[in-house]
Amino acid sequence: MTSTQGAVGQSIRRLEGRAKVTGRAQYVHTLRLPGMLHGKVFRSTVAHARLLGLDASAARALPGVHRVLVGQDILAVMPDPHYGPAFHDQPVLALDKVRYVGEPVALVLAEDPHVAEEAAALIVARYEPLPAVYDEVEAMDSTAVVHEVLKPAGTFPDLKHLQGKRDTNIALDYSLRRGDPDGAFASADHVFEHRFRTQQVLHVPLEPFVSAAVPGEGTLTLHTASQSPSFVRIEIARLLGWPENRVRVQVPYLGGGFGAKLYIKVEALAAAAALIVGRPVKIALTMEEQFFTLTKHAATLRIRSAVTREGRITARECEVWWNGGAYADIGPRITQKSGFTAPGPYDIEHVRIDSYALYTNLPPAGALRGFGIPQLVWAYESHTDMIARELGIDPVEMRRRNILREGRPQATGTVMRDAAIEQVLERTAERMRWSEAFDRGSGTRRRGRGIAIGFKASVSPTTSVAIVNIYADGSCALYCSTVDMGQGSDTAMAQIVSEVLGIDIDRITVVHPDTDVTPYDMATLGSRSTFHMGNAVRAAAEDARSKLIALAQDVGVSVETTPIGEIFRRKYGMQAGNVVGSGSFVPAYTPTDHHTGQSDNVTPFWMIGATGVEVEVDTETGQVTVNRLVNVGDAGRAINPAIVETQLSGAAIMQLGFTMTEQMRFRDGQCVNPSLADYRIPGILDIPAIIDNERVDATQSSGPFGAKGVGESGTFGVSPAIASAIEDAVGIRLTSLPITAESVLRALREQQGRPLQAD
């Protein structure tokens, strides 16, 4: 480790701190462009219908309205206006059909956003209703079919077999087979089977979705709040039939992302509108409209285990139905990438997994901080605890007997490396003082505690590219397309450059994503940036360093003893020139076998996270208070320990909301609580009195300076730990999220033999 200010391992302050505390940080939401029109979306009010016609005459007649666009208008610039990362199934504006309540049907453009909003309310659509399906399990064999024919994007080889498939809502069926589960179940001492459910929830970035498109001469610039600028450029270019170089995507800071701002959201609509009218167009969604754009997958999970008398799990069978909503978005990847970890971080010889991505007539579901993992952990950790209780084994001990240890194969056959599962479990138990006596409360206030652990494979195969540009005065810039949406990536990436080049952090700038300038990156998602982009940045900085060394040799000085500025002056006679280094990173990967789901290298690294909680339950009201929240994760060696801890606790508190308060409620496919008044995200009063965060002492040997991603790990264990703590306190087991005072009280009254009436 060097003494460079800001190098790897130091908890330095974030680079953009000053801009953020003075309100001067730039977001697309507050961007204004000369001559700009504002777009307001007219949305479907029915869940599934043929679109018979639109009457926009009153909207067009409203003074100040520049233009009203409908689906057919988009064809002028996008001959096939269907987009999506896994399936090309989502139209820019509805064409012949609508598939969920809230789907964009028309766009009003006006200089004054209030005029556009008023005009959008004057549009009338005529529909012929079709049967709709909302439940993911019913969608398996429902006569209501959301898409007549499947249209996989062709990007992913494992989706190719779905091309042209008709009359099904199954967008992907992923299966894994290992060993002989049937034999193991037949000879088991005990067999346990449970079913779990998670609800639809929302990302709620405080900066809602927003894009602004600026047409040029045969070019287009998009300013967009996106986590995936490279994908946006490629997809918009594809839709337009243009080469990539004519589309420029620029991304400043994001006011939160959490997986919502990936792929195409309002970018295609803004791009098409701007090209059609020849003026800049900005589409800024409201908080309410976020509820009609992208959700987290609700899921139903069935899990069955064969267990020996001693509590060893010998076989496990998992079935998962993912409610993908009306458009696939990245759902099929979640079904596959998360599906294979459905048995949990346990060493189980015989495994069968079936994981289904399903279309329904609800808003599309996509990635949300964990990419399906929190849903799976909810099921397998609740299940593990229920088995332990049934067998009279301590929950931590039950996990010790089954934990997946270093060097052992996971369900896919991939051998676990640099995965501190055991250590994370043990540290969580220690911080919870698990073996010590615990005050269980009395009277109507009962206390309990619970613990849960989860793991996640990183996304693969993916590519990151970075460029480091050393200036002639020894300051430098990093060009990379990782999006800093609050996770602190600018700071962490700059620290890697600082470490390699020995340049102090205040002389390093991170150039924000601009696809004309910053090189390709798959996307900022799945906690992949620190590892993937971090490796690319390290390679770019090392490349720049080699070139700087060569330059120093060229002018007869040593890079160790000569200031960088002096090397440049000797070479160019003045403060001039650059040294540009580049680096890319593509991890090795073996695709899973289509029939067995097996792979000898399914991920470049594993993320591990565990949570321990202490709760107090008011038995008269069902109110649950989380008094203590312990989050332990394996982040490898942290680039910036303080930021890692903030990520751990931020993720856990977000998952606390998904566990206790957050739920999109639907009636006939219509979300009936699309506002922060009726959909409650955690506030400062909701956070537990004690929050402990810990990074275990671990190293990811393939990561940059031993580091790996941590943005999602804090979410994994929260929900099942709380459910287990409630059972520990009052003896009831909840298997559906969210866990509200009402659901707890209902279960308590059930237990007492005096159930509450249904509502």
* Residues 93-112: x where in contact with another protein by CB under 8 A, - otherwise, as a string: -------------------x
Cα distance between residue 485 and residue 524, in whole Å:
9
Cα distance between residue 743 and residue 753, in whole Å:
15
Given candidates 155, 562, 623, 646, which one binds another protein under the rule CB under 8 A? Answer: 646
Cα distance between residue 608 and residue 423, in whole Å:
10
Report the interhelical angle of 718-730 vs 373-391 (nearest 10°): 30
Q: Which helix (H) or strand (E) holds 546?
A: helix 529-554
Phi and psi at residue 162, to the nearest 5°: -90, -10
Cα distance between residue 280 and residue 273, in whole Å:
9
Q: Which residues lie closer than 8 Å to 669 by C-beta, 6 or more apart?
A: 46, 47, 48, 100, 101, 132, 134, 361, 362
Given candidates 206, 415, 550, 576, which one binds another protein under the rule CB under 8 A? Answer: 206
Burial of residue 617, with CB atoms counted within 10 A of its CB: 0-12 exposed, 13-18 middle, 19 or more buried: buried
Whole-number minimum distance, CB 651 to another protein, in Å?
A: 8
Whole-number minimum distance, CB 5 to another protein, in Å?
A: 16
Residues in the chain: 759
Contact yes or no for 322/335 (Cβ under 8 A): yes
Given candidates 102, 181, 205, 609, which one binds another protein under the rule CB under 8 A? Answer: 205
Q: Which helix (H) or strand (E) holds 355?
A: strand 350-358
Nearer to another protein, 188 or 691 (CB): 691
Nearer to another protein, 28 or 541 (CB): 28
Burial of residue 384, with CB atoms counted within 10 A of its CB: 0-12 exposed, 13-18 middle, 19 or more buried: buried
Whole-number minimum distance, CB 231 to another protein, in Å?
A: 20
Whole-number minimum distance, CB 519 to another protein, in Å?
A: 24
DSSP codes joined into one string, 401-432: TTB--TTSB-TTSPBP-S--HHHHHHHHHHHT
Cα distance between residue 629 and residue 692, in whole Å:
6
Task: List binders of another protein among 225-284 (CB under 8 A).
Answer: 253-258
Cα distance between residue 26 and residue 23, in whole Å:
8
Whole-number minimum distance, CB 284 to another protein, in Å?
A: 9
Burial of residue 444, with CB atoms counted within 10 A of its CB: 0-12 exposed, 13-18 middle, 19 or more buried: exposed
Cα distance between residue 737 and residue 334, in whole Å:
19
Nearer to another protein, 511 or 687 (CB): 687
Burial of residue 61, with CB atoms counted within 10 A of its CB: 0-12 exposed, 13-18 middle, 19 or more buried: exposed
Q: Does 17 bind another protein (CB under 8 A)?
A: yes
Q: Does 21 bind another protein (CB under 8 A)?
A: yes
Whole-number minimum distance, CB 650 to another protein, in Å?
A: 4
Given candidates 653, 660, 698, 744, which one binds another protein under the rule CB under 8 A? Answer: 653
* Residues 278-317: x where in contact with another protein by CB under 8 A, - otherwise, as a string: --------xxx-----------------------------
Closest by CA position to 670, among listed 23, 21, 48, 8: 48
Given candidates 20, 160, 405, 594, which one binds another protein under the rule CB under 8 A? Answer: 20
Given candidates 1, 3, 22, 243, which one binds another protein under the rule CB under 8 A? Answer: 22
Contact yes or no for 682/654 (Cβ under 8 A): yes
Task: List binders of another protein among 113-142 (CB under 8 A).
Answer: 114-115, 118
Instruction: Give the Å distances, CA to CA, from 716 to 374, 447, 703.
Output: 5, 22, 22
Given candidates 224, 598, 649, 713, which one binds another protein under the rule CB under 8 A? Answer: 649
Binding residue count for another protein, defined by CB under 8 A: 57
| Structure tokens, 143 | 């006569």
Task: List binders of another protein among 527-586 (CB under 8 A).
Answer: none
Closest by CA position to 94, among listed 261, 269, 245: 269
Q: From the candidates 310, 712, 742, 750, which is the catalytic residue?
A: 712
Nearer to another protein, 614 or 728 (CB): 614
* Half-sphere CA count of 280, side-chain side, radius 13 A: 15
Nearer to another protein, 257 or 669 (CB): 257
Nearer to another protein, 202 or 732 (CB): 202
Cα distance between residue 222 and residue 213, in whole Å:
4
Whole-number minimum distance, CB 628 to another protein, in Å?
A: 13
Q: Near another protein by CB under 8 A, which window of 202-210, 390-398, 589-597, 731-739?
A: 202-210
Residue 85: CB atoms within 10 Å: 23
> Is 397 annotated as catalytic?
no
Given candidates 3, 32, 53, 243, which one binds another protein under the rule CB under 8 A? Answer: 32
Residue 745's SS3 state is helix
Whole-number minimum distance, CB 25 to another protein, in Å?
A: 5
Whole-number minimum distance, CB 19 to another protein, in Å?
A: 7
Whole-number minimum distance, CB 46 to another protein, in Å?
A: 25
Given candidates 68, 522, 643, 737, which one binds another protein under the rule CB under 8 A? Answer: 643
Nearer to another protein, 580 or 691 (CB): 691
Whole-number minimum distance, CB 255 to another protein, in Å?
A: 3
Whole-number minimum distance, CB 733 to another protein, in Å?
A: 27
Cα distance between residue 573 and residue 90, in whole Å:
57
Buried b (16+ CB within 10 A) or exposed e, 637-653: bbbbeebbbbbbbbbbb
Contact yes or no for 338/373 (Cβ under 8 A): yes
Task: List binders of another protein among 470-509 (CB under 8 A).
Answer: 485-488
Nearer to another protein, 112 or 349 (CB): 112
Cα distance between residue 716 and residue 39, in whole Å:
38
Task: List binders of another protein among 349-368 (CB under 8 A).
Answer: none
Nearer to another protein, 108 or 420 (CB): 108
Nearer to another protein, 115 or 452 (CB): 115
Q: Does 33 bind another protein (CB under 8 A)?
A: no
Nearer to another protein, 250 or 412 (CB): 250
Task: List binders of another protein among 660-719 (CB under 8 A).
Answer: 675-677, 681-685, 687, 691
Nearer to another protein, 31 or 106 (CB): 31
Given candidates 2, 5, 18, 435, which one binds another protein under the rule CB under 8 A? Answer: 18
List of residues contacting another protein (CB under 8 A)? 13-14, 16-25, 27, 29-30, 32, 63-64, 112, 114-115, 118, 204-208, 253-258, 286-288, 485-488, 642-643, 646, 649-650, 653-654, 675-677, 681-685, 687, 691
Q: Which residues are catalytic?
A: 712
